[in-house]
Chains A and B, each alone.
Chain A
Amino acid sequence: MMRRLVWPSVLSALVIAYPLLFATPFQQRLGALVLLYAIAASAWNIVGGYAGQVSVGHVVFFGCGAYAAMGAYAHFGLSPMVGIPAGIVFAVAIAAIIGTPTLRLSGHYFSMATIAVAELVRLVVTNTEYLGAAVGLSGPTVPRNIFDLSFISALPYYYLFLVILAITLLITWWMTNSRMGFYLRAIKDSERAARSLGAPAARTKLYAFMLSAGLTAVAGALYAMMFGFVDPESGLGILISVKILIMAALGGAGLLFGPLVGAAILVPLEELSNSLLGGSGAGLTFVVYGAIILLIARFQPGGLLALAIRIRERRRKASDAPVAAGAGHAS
């Protein structure tokens, strides 16, 4: 029992102490970004991993949060935080519009609809003057008070994101252990079987999608607050959807900590390649992403965490045999 708690407590202590151990602005910013993308990828994981419905347009929810937060400041002079609930409402409404018709069907319809809506929203926003059109919206240049959540150092963001990530993971964990998680597992195994046993498949998938959308909107709002602005490319670009999806898939879709592992690998990779290669290297990240998609799809569809779990179980099985034989001696 004690031994089982050692690794988790060491890891969480490391996560909490990280910005103090690695105190340069670059390292702190990197840590905050990892957590931010981990929030978005964990939110994607609810619908993409647990419900098995691959959303390729998740950036639209991210954008809802980001634009709502910046809009609250730019148009009403309020703290960007005030925009978060509005962003969540928009995101959940869009999720309902996409999900209600398409989640009744199985197959690719859902993925296609998410891409189409994400592009639709991006184009509409790019042509809407109220939302800053192609230039985007900016947050407060100078923080008026602490509620603007506009800090120069990345340290406060790190702990803010850590708390939100913990809440996101807690919600996910709670969901998997509730009746809804039970339904989702049944649907993922065989939707037809689950339906015939009376599980409300379409409704459960829709709820998972709406929950995921709301949490992604929070991630988007946090992103906009940290960077102080949002434009159609950074808030609604299709590449962000791809990033979120790949992080969850690389770490392990459908596993609680999978997205966090994926973000902890990919975000440093991207930031390092950007800082080492400068502007000319920005495209290289996406070459790496493409290679990662190919490798995961070919060799490890469950993600890295699934691989790690499998190796650990194999090792435990191997070590269990002699332990059982010598059980008389031990303890």
Chain B
Amino acid sequence: MGIRPDSMQAIAWAIAAGATGLAGALIATFFYIVPTVGETLAIVAFVTVSLGGFGSVPGALVAGLLIGVIESLSGYLIGAVYKDIVVYALFVSFLWFRPQGLMGKS
């Protein structure tokens, strides 16, 4: 068909890296930055994509908003240490009901 899979994958990879870099630059304005700052954020990003459903753009958007709100609210209501625990626990229990994510195809 004339589509070169290697270069398409490279472009997708580059766009993903660029967008993540942009997110990193934006978060640096209000976040404490240490060399390992990306670890937790990357895991939360994984969780967000699985929650939205792999390959679903609206799913990722909705899941991102949901996780952001849940994390901030639980940090405020329950305690800052527990905000990630709440997100992960909700994610794991959500998997039992809809393992393919909000908008993913199984």
A contact set with B: CB distance below 8 Å: 97-98, 100-102, 104-105, 107-109, 112-113, 115-117, 119-120, 123-124, 127, 238
B88 cross-chain contacts in A, Cβ below 8 A: 116-117, 119-120, 123
Question: B99, A117: Cβ atoms under 8 Å?
Answer: no
Report the Cα distance A146→B89, complex, angstroms: 40
Known interface pairs A101-B96, A104-B106, A116-B91; 13 further A-B residue pairs with C-beta atoms within 8 A, sorted by A's residue number: A97-B92, A101-B95, A101-B99, A108-B54, A109-B101, A113-B95, A116-B50, A116-B88, A119-B88, A123-B81, A124-B85, A127-B82, A127-B85
Q: How far is the CB of A118 from chain B (nearest CB, A)?
A: 9
Q: In whole angstroms, how far apart are the Cα atoms of A127 and B78 in the complex?
A: 13
B56 at the interface (CB under 8 A from A): no
Contact present for B84 and A98 (CB under 8 Å): no
Which residues on B sit within 8 Å (CB–CB) of A108?
A: 50, 54
A residues within 8 A CB of B85?
Answer: 120, 123-124, 127
Q: Are A116 and B47 in contact (CB under 8 A)?
A: yes
CB-contact partner of B100 in A105, A115, A117, A127, under 8 A? A105
B residues less than 8 Å from A105 (CB atoms):
99-100, 106
Say yes or no: A112 contacts B99, CB within 8 Å. no
- Majority SS at the chain A contact face: helix
Binary contact readout B37-59 vs A (1 if CB under 8 angstroms, 0 otherwise): 00110010011011000100000
- 8 Å CB contacts to A: which residues of B74-106? 81-82, 84-85, 88-89, 91-92, 95-96, 99-101, 106
For residue A113, which residues in chain B have a CB less than 8 angstroms away from its CB?
50, 92, 95
Least CB distance from A80 to B in Å reads 28
Q: Which residues of B contact A100 (CB under 8 A)?
A: 96
Chain A residues with Cβ under 8 A from B92's Cβ?
Answer: 97-98, 113, 116-117, 120
Bound: A100/B97 CA distance, A = 11
Please, which residues of chain A bring their CB within 8 A of the CB of B96?
100-101
Given A113-B50, A115-B43, A102 and B99 contact (CB-CB distance below 8 Å): yes
Complex: A104 Cα to B82 Cα, angstroms = 30
Which residues in window 18-49 of B have CB below 8 A to A?
39-40, 43, 46-47, 49
B99 and A116 form a contact (CB under 8 A)? no
User: In the complex, A102 Cα to B51 Cα: how many Å?
Assistant: 12
Q: Complex formed: what's the CA distance from A226 to B89 in Å?
A: 32
User: Which 10 pairs, one residue from A and one from B, show the smallest C-beta to C-beta distance?
Assistant: A120-B88, A112-B50, A101-B99, A101-B95, A101-B96, A123-B85, A116-B88, A112-B46, A116-B47, A116-B91
